[in-house]
């Protein structure tokens, strides 16, 4: 599964980016460029789905694709899918219908949800079996607090909860292939058994540890998206994190945003925050992806914006340099980036 | 407190019905406000010796412990048992949490601190205002320059201890040669100490050394052994890479056994899973580095195998100490091949900076009269390929001579040549010491005498009679080995049954 995701990303990047852009995408790096690219190349679903991915592991996977001749690099060092690679992709086209990732909008919440589900099952089964002392399998404080809070506010008996949860999972999991369901269940920890690591799953099911991670998370995304759509699974719903729609802004961009809303200009903000004008402009592009309220015409007039959009679609590219060269001199990179960002509002 | 009450308290807080050897005497001395020095073998329950006093005494107990994971585990365990006012303060805590914790120090019964936190002036100040009833130095052998795990951070203990107005001390360790014992007491200048030194030897273990000609014989030997005795087993390695590769090889050869590896590079999720799988008997064999085992208390490990010889006797004793905690017979098997001797030497080199690196870094440092420690650290890590152990060593040495003060390096008062000489001398001395330790270990491997007597001679004059076989030089015979084999039962489920089983449905 991971291989297809990689190939899919590479294919969509159209030979205009390096593999590291994909790494940043998958790990959800909060940078203007990464956010911008994921919109421009329609890769938002993969944004931040795999924050724990190590760079060295990522490199190994890329090398594997290279050795299989599925990918190639052009003279700029940008990565491309070869015809062999495209065949593989075409062959597995319908697999993508089974992918439920929605990273850009939900990666943070889904990760919390996944870990909460794991810890909740561990907790609930232990208490139902009257074993109150156990070592939480999820170490993160945030998750432990979240689950404790849920626990405190549920009136039901553990046995009732487990029965309900059983019914809910029975229904939801039925949408997946048997092997995927087995992997999902093997990852979970209960009083009956400790879950497997992704590497152990990989050995057992003859996949890579990245595949097994993606298989697990794919199911979690599916469950989460069903809940978001309003499906009424009573117990699973409890596990959804409260903190909805944590904004995607970096901390620094948030500060810029506050000043912007107070009416300061870019230059003023740069002076106040002792940052470079370029940096503030990057923040503003970042903000443009998430906020509708700001009057963006201050930075890029409606007419300029329109001509940037037209040029982009004529050129069929997202390469800033090419776009810039085809536009009048006075239109800045900042304005181009901003116009591209506003396209996705 | 009367004896009966102590037992009642043990039952109330920890659910144990009786004390283990040594615990009660130590706790009584502690409650009588004495300074206590205790040597207790690994797994004998050292932590109860301060955890119980923390619960029944007024005031706060401070525990300095070098192992982050260990203290976190202990805190979790206590919380799970219902003791809520305990906390571990270490560099991993967020600034925000640290702040709130500092504000309410007095509300804790027990506070674990890592030694590096003792550099934190604010923490020390707050601690000195708190009502400290007991100052515990866990793994006290780390204080000693002669100890096998000397930690520069631990030398600050004395200073801190004085700032806290010298509350009663409890120094605990599992391994301390007589030399080290004296060093610990001298360093803390403890007077009127009540000492509790318990026999280190383990009557239920048998010692075997297997010398092999070719490295490959190690894995094949281990594989045959495990085939014959599929029992809970730990295999120790001195390299992460080999722990992994031998693990894969054994998995291939022994498909009926469940084998995993564990080392410091695993992420937290995987560590927790592997540890608990082993505890829950879902794994039979664990290929690990010394990172595994701290805080693990599986009672029925039957076989501890050393794929590599440890760098000192003390580590070896600690590692074989994880076998047979339930008192049942168990076996230690160490594999040795002549070229193994280079590995511990290499490990030493990886811990201490070499002279050329020191010279290079000092050249950089002395170009400026003032430099922030962070800058020097960054530079050092860059040119040394991120050798953090080496950096900590250098930082401590520079602090010791006063070149680093309050996170600033000031070179103007020093001659570069003097500093260089000094560092070289220290490095030389430490290297000599470590080599001596390796030599001791090697002697044990090569000995023709009784391994049990030879192993413990540094710690105590006599050993007890073993309950089963002694060692390969006395009476050991594989034919006599009767380790209870464990059969694994595995069921093939369809997914719905698997889910039902997992969630306790319909059973
Ligand atoms: N009095 C006792 N009765 C039963 N179990 C005990 C007792 N004291 C300690 N234990 C258990 O023994 C194990 C080892 O204790 P620990 O303090 O971690 O050992 P050490 O630090 O000496 O290696 C723990 O699981 C602990 O709960
Ligand atoms: Zn003997």
* pLDDT per residue as tens digits for the range B374-419: 899 999 998 988 888 888 888 888 887 888 887 888 888 889 999 9
Local structure of B354: helix, strand or coil: coil
Strand partners, B37: B171, B195
Is residue B326 domain-shared with residue B274, that is, in the same domain? yes
Residue nearest to atom 26 of ligand 1 (CA): B45
Look at residues B415, B437, B459 and tell me which one is the last residue of a structural domain.
B437
In this structure, are residues B490 and A177 in contact, taking their beta carbons and an 8 Å threshold?
no
Residue B444 lies in a domain: no
Helices (H), B152-259: 157-163, 178-188, 216-228, 240-253
Which candidate from A128, A137, A166 shows the least CB-CB separation from B276?
A137
Range of the domain at B52: 3-197
Alpha carbon distance B92, B108 (integer Å) = 19
Chain B contact set for A197 (CB, 8 A) = 260, 269-270, 273-274
Is some CB atom of chain A closer than 8 A to the CB atom of B482? no
The mean pLDDT of B14-36, rounded to a whole number, is 92
pLDDT at B144 over 80: no
Chain B contact set for A173 (CB, 8 A) = 495, 499
Residue nearest to atom 4 of ligand 1 (CA): B16
Architecture of domain A251-342: Orthogonal Bundle (1.10)
Chain A contact set for B267 (CB, 8 A) = 52
Is residue B88 domain-shared with residue B67, that is, in the same domain? yes
Is residue B431 domain-shared with residue B458, that is, in the same domain? no
Alpha carbon distance B146, B184 (integer Å) = 10
Residue B252 lies in a domain: yes
Residue nearest to atom 25 of ligand 1 (CA): B297
Q: Ligand 1 centroid vs B377 CA: distance in angstroms?
A: 40
Is some CB atom of chain A closer than 8 A to the CB atom of B505? yes
Contact B499 A192 (CB under 8 A): no
Closest by alpha carbon to B471, among B233, B232, B203, B224?
B203
Contact B504 A178 (CB under 8 A): no
The mean pLDDT of B176-188, rounded to a whole number, is 79
Q: DSSP secondary structure string, A65-93?
A: HHHTTSEEE-TTS-EEE-HHHHHHHHHTG
Domain A2-98 in CATH 1.10.150.650: no
Residue-wise pLDDT for B457-489, tens only, equals 888 878 999 999 999 999 999 998 888 776 666
pLDDT at A95 over 90: no
Distance from the Cα of B498 to chain A's closest Cα (Å) equals: 7
Q: Ligand 1 centroid vs B45 CA: distance in angstroms?
A: 3
Q: Say how many domains are in chain B.
A: 3
Closest residue, chain A, to B79 (C-alpha): A133
Q: Ligand 2 centroid vs A192 CA: distance in angstroms?
A: 42
Is residue B19 domain-shared with residue B152, that is, in the same domain? yes
CB pairs under 8 A between A and B: 83
Is some CB atom of chain A closer than 8 A to the CB atom of B500? yes
Residue B446 lies in a domain: no
Q: DSSP secondary structure string, A142-178?
A: HHHHHHHHHHHH--S-HHHHHHHHHHHHHHHHTTS-H
Look at residues B411, B437, B463 and tell me which one is the last residue of a structural domain.
B437
Question: pLDDT-based confidence at B174, cuts 50/70/90?
Answer: confident
Look at residues B181, B197, B213 and tell me which one is the last residue of a structural domain.
B197
Alpha carbon distance B27, B45 (integer Å) = 12
Is residue B38 domain-shared with residue B69, that is, in the same domain? yes
Residue B102 lies in a domain: yes
Is some CB atom of chain A closer than 8 A to the CB atom of B81? yes
Residues in contact with ligand 1 by the CB-under-6-Å rule are: B 16, 19-20, 23, 40, 42-48, 297
Report the relative pairing of strands B259-262 and B132-137 from DSSP bridges: unpaired
Is residue B67 domain-shared with residue B184, that is, in the same domain? yes
Is some CB atom of chain A closer than 8 A to the CB atom of B502? yes
pLDDT score, position A244: 52
Is residue B278 domain-shared with residue B303, that is, in the same domain? yes
Distance from the Cα of B259 to chain A's closest Cα (Å) equals: 10
Is residue B76 domain-shared with residue B218, that is, in the same domain? no
Contact A197 B498 (CB under 8 A): no
Contact A125 B501 (CB under 8 A): no
Question: pLDDT-based confidence at A345, cuts 50/70/90?
Answer: low
Ligand 1 test: best mutation among B11, B20, B42, B48, most atoms within 8 Å of CB?
B48
Contact A194 B505 (CB under 8 A): no
Report the relative pairing of strands B303-306 and B233-236 from DSSP bridges: parallel
The mean pLDDT of A209-228, rounded to a whole number, is 96
Closest by alpha carbon to B495, among A234, A114, A166, A222?
A166
Q: Structure tokens of B486?
A: 């464990």
Domain residue extents for chain A:
2-98, 103-238, 251-342
Rounded to two decimals, what is the model's pTM? 0.77
Closest by alpha carbon to B164, among B111, B87, B107, B96?
B111
In this structure, are residues A25 and A36 in contact, taking their beta carbons and an 8 Å threshold?
no
pLDDT score, position B227: 93
Residue B445 lies in a domain: no
Average pLDDT, chain B: 88
Alpha carbon distance A8, A21 (integer Å) = 13
Which candidate from B260, B270, B499 shows the least CB-CB separation from A185?
B499
Alpha carbon distance A317, A321 (integer Å) = 10
Q: To which residue do tokens 């690990």 refer?
A: B288
In this structure, are residues A4 and A65 in contact, taking their beta carbons and an 8 Å threshold?
no
Identical fold, A2-98 and A251-342: yes
Percentage of residues in chain A with pLDDT exceeding 70?
A: 98
Say which CATH number the domain at B28 has: 3.40.50.300
pLDDT at B1 over 60: no
Q: Structure tokens of A89?
A: 């992709």
Residue-wise pLDDT for B196-233, tens only, equals 888 788 899 999 999 999 999 999 999 999 999 999 99
Chain B contact set for A143 (CB, 8 A) = none
Which candidate from B81, B498, B501 shows the least CB-CB separation from A182?
B498
């Amino acid at each position: 599964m991971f291989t297809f995701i990689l190939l899919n990303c590479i294919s969509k990047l159209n030979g205009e980016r390096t593999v590291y852009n994909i790494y940043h995408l998958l790990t959800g790096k909060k940078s203007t460029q990464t956010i911008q690219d994921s919109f421009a190349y329609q890769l938002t679903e993969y944004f931040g789905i795999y924050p724990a991915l190590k760079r060295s592991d990522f490199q190994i996977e890329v090398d594997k694709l290279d050795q299989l001749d599925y990918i190639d690099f052009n003279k700029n060092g940008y990565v491309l899918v070869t015809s062999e690679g495209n065949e593989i992709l075409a062959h597995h086209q319908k697999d993508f219908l089974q992918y439920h990732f929605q990273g850009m909008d939900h990666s943070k919440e889904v990760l919390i949800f996944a870990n909460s589900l794991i810890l909740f099952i561990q907790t609930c089964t232990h208490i139902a079996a009257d074993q109150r002392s156990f070592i939480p399998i999820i170490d993160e404080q945030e998750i432990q607090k979240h689950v404790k809070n849920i626990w405190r506010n549920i009136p039901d008996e553990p046995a009732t909860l487990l029965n309900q949860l059983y019914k809910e999972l029975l229904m939801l999991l039925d949408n997946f292939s048997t092997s995927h369901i087995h992997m999902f269940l093997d990852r979970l920890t209960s009083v009956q058994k400790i879950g497997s690591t992704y590497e152990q799953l990989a050995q057992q099911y003859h996949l890579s540890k990245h595949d097994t991670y993606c298989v697990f998370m794919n199911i979690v995304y599916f469950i989460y998206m069903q809940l978001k759509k309003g499906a009424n699974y009573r117990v699973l719903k409890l596990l959804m994190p409260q903190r909805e729609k944590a904004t995607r802004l970096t901390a620094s961009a948030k500060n810029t945003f506050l000043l912007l809303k107070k009416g300061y200009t870019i230059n003023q903000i740069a002076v106040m925050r002792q940052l470079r004008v370029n940096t503030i402009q990057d923040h503003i592009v970042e903000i443009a992806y998430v906020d509708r309220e700001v009057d963006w015409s201050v930075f890029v007039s409606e007419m300029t914006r329109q001509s940037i959009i037209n040029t982009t679609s004529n050129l069929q590219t997202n390469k800033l340099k090419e776009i810039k060269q085809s536009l009048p001199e006075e239109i800045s990179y900042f304005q181009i980036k901003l116009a591209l960002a506003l396209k996705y509002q | 407190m009367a004896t009966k009450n102590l037992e009642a308290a043990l039952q109330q807080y920890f659910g144990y019905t009786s004390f283990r050897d040594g615990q009660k005497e130590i706790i009584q001395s502690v409650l009588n406000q004495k300074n206590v020095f205790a040597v207790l073998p690994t797994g004998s329950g050292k932590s109860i010796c301060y955890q119980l006093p923390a619960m029944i005494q007024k005031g706060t107990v401070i525990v300095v412990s070098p192992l982050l994971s260990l203290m976190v585990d202990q805190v979790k365990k206590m919380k799970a048992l219902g003791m809520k006012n305990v906390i571990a303060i270490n560099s991993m805590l967020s600034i925000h949490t640290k702040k709130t914790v500092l504000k309410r120090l007095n509300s804790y019964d027990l506070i674990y601190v890592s030694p590096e936190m003792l550099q934190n002036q604010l923490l020390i100040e707050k601690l000195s205002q708190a009502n400290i009833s007991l100052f515990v130095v866990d793994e006290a052998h780390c204080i000693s320059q002669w100890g096998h795990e000397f930690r520069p951070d631990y030398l600050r203990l004395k200073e801190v201890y004085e700032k806290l107005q010298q509350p009663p001390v409890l120094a605990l360790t599992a391994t301390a040669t007589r030399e080290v014992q004296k060093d610990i007491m001298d360093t803390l200048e403890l007077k009127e100490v009540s000492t509790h030194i318990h026999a280190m030897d383990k009557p239920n273990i048998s010692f075997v050394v297997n010398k092999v000609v070719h490295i490959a014989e190690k894995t094949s030997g281990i594989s045959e052994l495990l085939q014959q005795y599929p029992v809970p087993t730990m295999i120790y390695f001195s390299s992460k890479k080999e722990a992994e590769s031998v693990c894969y090889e054994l998995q291939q050869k022994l498909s009926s056994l469940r084998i995993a590896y564990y080392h410091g590079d695993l992420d937290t999720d995987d560590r927790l899973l592997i540890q608990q799988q082993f505890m829950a008997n879902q794994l039979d064999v664990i290929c690990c580095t010394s990172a595994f085992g701290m805080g693990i208390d599986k009672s029925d490990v039957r076989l501890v195998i050393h794929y590599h010889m440890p760098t000192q006797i003390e580590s070896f004793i600690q590692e074989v100490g994880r076998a047979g905690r339930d008192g049942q017979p168990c076996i230690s098997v160490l594999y040795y091949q002549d070229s193994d001797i280079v590995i511990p030497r290499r490990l030493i080199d990886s811990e201490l900076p070499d002279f050329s690196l020191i010279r290079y870094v000092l050249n950089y440092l002395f170009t400026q009269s003032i430099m922030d420690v962070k800058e020097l650290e960054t530079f050092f890590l860059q040119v040394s390929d991120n050798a953090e152990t080496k950096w900590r060593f250098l930082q401590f040495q520079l602090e010791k001579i006063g070149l680093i003060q309050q996170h600033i390096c000031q070179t103007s008062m020093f001659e570069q040549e003097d500093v260089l000489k000094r560092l070289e001398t220290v490095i030389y001395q430490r290297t000599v010491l470590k080599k001596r330790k390796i030599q001791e270990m090697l002697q044990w491997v090569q000995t023709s005498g009784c391994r049990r007597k030879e192993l413990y001679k540094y710690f105590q004059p006599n050993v007890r009679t073993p309950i089963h076989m002694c060692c390969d030089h006395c009476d050991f015979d594989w034919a006599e080995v009767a380790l209870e084999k464990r059969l694994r039962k595995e069921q093939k489920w369809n997914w719905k049954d698997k889910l039902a089983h997992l969630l306790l449905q319909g059973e």
